[in-house]
Amino acid sequence: MKIAFFDAKDYDIPAFERYGKENGIEFKYYETKLGADTVGLARGFDGVCVFVNDDVSAPVVDGLFEEGVKYIALRCAGYNNVDVKRCFGKIHVVRVPAYSPYAVAEHTMAMLLTSVRRIHKAYNRTREFNFSLNGLTGFDLHGKTVGVIGTGKIGSIFIDICKGFGMNVLAYDKFPRQDAAFPYVPLDEIFAKSDVISLHLPLFEDTYHLINHDTLKKLKKGVILLNTSRGALIDAEALLEGIKQRIIGAACLDVYEEESELFFEDYSGHIIEDDTLARLLSMPNVIVTSHQAFLTEEALANIAETTVQNLVLCREGKACPNELCYDCGNMENCKKKRKERCF
């Protein structure tokens, strides 16, 4: 089985080589992202392996199909960049639903603590022998209210971590957990009462710009906003406005609405065209990491192992629990009525 691997980074390759060799899967690594201009590189391959910022929109799906590609293996959980509807009947789509929810939840708390205790400022100061404490006053997380939106795998672990800090948890989810040991409240109550809000839900049409100019008005003054899910959950222009109006006290972003052209690359010697991002980065109360939350050794090994397992099941024509299906209406838990496959 031959797979064209797009948007390859040095840290991806060792684990994929190891699991690929063990299972008879040959990867060809392309640094470029998959998109309309690069779809031709998939010619002659059984499948493509893609990540969060590859473009797998309808024209690209059609292009892949024309090139004879049978499988799209997402090496991530989110699939908002794939037109799964267009794939139905043409190309099987598999993903890695969880690789290390701990990695993302722990990174979220790392960003919160960095922001609240001004660690990023202190780090720079002490390296220059500036031992002044002026401007570094933080606040206790203990006793503060954290609103967690999305209580799936990552959100639930983040809630456990917050409880360990003695925070009061309020949660919102479209599909609440039955076994939850924390209260679910309406979204507006989260907005009104939370000192910290953390987003742990997928990007869908109904979650696009969940934080926008209207919701801004409902937030508690000084709230800290955490987003380690998907950039477009937040309207970046509204966020900027909220910071300028002092409604948002701090923002910790591992994802950004327009990240696809920037994140994962080194642009340190370049002029950045994105004025919104540049302005956000200039704010003393904004911390940005470039979609790094998943990046632990454990997660990289799990991503490679699960992706290879998914492809092995595809090759053998067997049911794959991680296949995404448009047709049966149950995208993530396809009933696979047709010969145990989506189609």
Binding region for ligand NAI (CB under 6 A): 77-78, 98, 101, 104, 149-155, 173-175, 200-202, 204, 206-207, 228-230, 254-255, 291, 293-294
**Active-site hit among 118, 200, 230, 305:** 230
**Active-site hit among 75, 95, 200, 259:** 259
Nearer to ligand NAI, 7 or 46 (CB): 7
Nearer to ligand NAI, 39 or 157 (CB): 157
Q: Is 270 a catalytic residue?
A: no
The rounded distance, in Å, linking the Cα atoms of 74 and 47 is: 11
Question: Least distance (Å) from ligand NAI to the CB of residue 246?
Answer: 27
Nearer to ligand NAI, 47 or 155 (CB): 155
Two tokens, residue 258: 């327009």
Question: Least distance (Å) from ligand NAI to the CB of residue 334?
Answer: 15
The rounded distance, in Å, linking the Cα atoms of 119 and 99 is: 28
Nearer to ligand NAI, 29 or 264 (CB): 264
Candidates 13, 56, 19; CA nearest to 31 is: 13
Nearer to ligand NAI, 38 or 53 (CB): 53
**Active-site hit among 118, 291, 305, 323:** 291
Give φ, ψ of 249 to 5 degrees.
-80, -30
Question: Least distance (Å) from ligand NAI to the CB of residue 108?
Answer: 9
Q: Give the pairing of strands 323-324 and 92-94.
A: antiparallel
Question: Least distance (Å) from ligand NAI to the CB of residue 254?
Answer: 5
Nearer to ligand NAI, 98 or 192 (CB): 98
The rounded distance, in Å, linking the Cα atoms of 186 and 62 is: 41
Question: Least distance (Å) from ligand NAI to the CB of residue 245?
Answer: 26
Q: Where are the beta strands (DSSP E) in the chain?
A: 2-5, 26-29, 47-50, 71-74, 92-94, 145-149, 168-172, 196-199, 223-227, 248-253, 286-288, 323-324
For residue 314, give the amino acid letter: C
92: left (phi over 0), alpha (psi -120 to 50) or beta: beta
HSE-up of residue 243 (Cα within 13 Å, Cβ side): 22
Residue nearest to ligand NAI (CB): 152
Q: Is 142 a catalytic residue?
A: no
The sheet that has 26-29: what strands, in order across it? 26-29, 2-5, 47-50, 71-74, 92-94, 323-324
Q: Are 245 and 282 in contact (CB under 8 A)?
A: no
Question: Least distance (Å) from ligand NAI to the CB of residue 290?
Answer: 10
Q: Is 291 a catalytic residue?
A: yes
Supply angle C-alpha 146, 108, 156, rounded to 5.
Answer: 60
Residues assigned a catalytic role: 230, 259, 291
